[in-house]
A = this chain, B = another copy of it.
């Protein structure tokens, strides 16, 4: 998936963090630091990441002005945790999305991908690898022998494997995706959950790559 993304952010550190991450994932990005610039440029982009704490215009004025101009580009808003209510109140009809700072980059990436999904290519309801499938709505693993209910963690873990089929996933990667940003590196939760997944979907499906991590086969 590709796309041109406009980052409207005045803090250089955050702008750079977002820009690097998005570029590393194949998106084209530009950064502007003011609401005025955002207004002039937004229409030429596929998506806008908009910080609410701008120096000149506040973010919502920018958003409203864009919509008044008939610009329909999806906007993902970055906001401080303590002004969530105002932010959410400003999202009319779900056309836009928001994230509270600080945020994990993966979360932003997921939302960007969601908004840029080509129309006509609906969201997957099922992920499949070989004879193993995962129903994303019912949170069930589907095997030739039948369906198995998964817990939230098991589900998140299996989803991660299914989204990276055949690829070795390192513990650290797994921890940061499934357990979040500030994980305890000394924990063996991953092992334990791989174990319980294996019990449910069959041990042979999750291959151990010694010294590296695990791989879905």
Given contacts A74-B122, A85-B143, A119-B119, 5 further A-B contacts (CB under 8 A): A85-B145, A94-B127, A97-B125, A98-B125, A114-B122
Which residues of B are found within 8 Å of A126, using beta-carbon distances? Answer: 88, 91, 94, 98
A214 to nearest B CB, angstroms? 23
CB nearest to A147 among chain B residues: B84
CB nearest to A143 among chain B residues: B85
Known: A119-B119, A120-B72. A142 touches B84 (CB 8 A): yes
| Residue A135 at the chain B interface, CB threshold 8 Å | yes
Identical subunits present: 2
Q: How far is the CA of A131 from the CA of B145 in the complex (A)?
A: 48
- Which positions in A face B, CB cutoff 8 Å? 72, 74, 84-85, 88-89, 91, 93-95, 97-98, 114-115, 119-128, 131, 133, 135, 142-147
CB nearest to A110 among chain B residues: B137
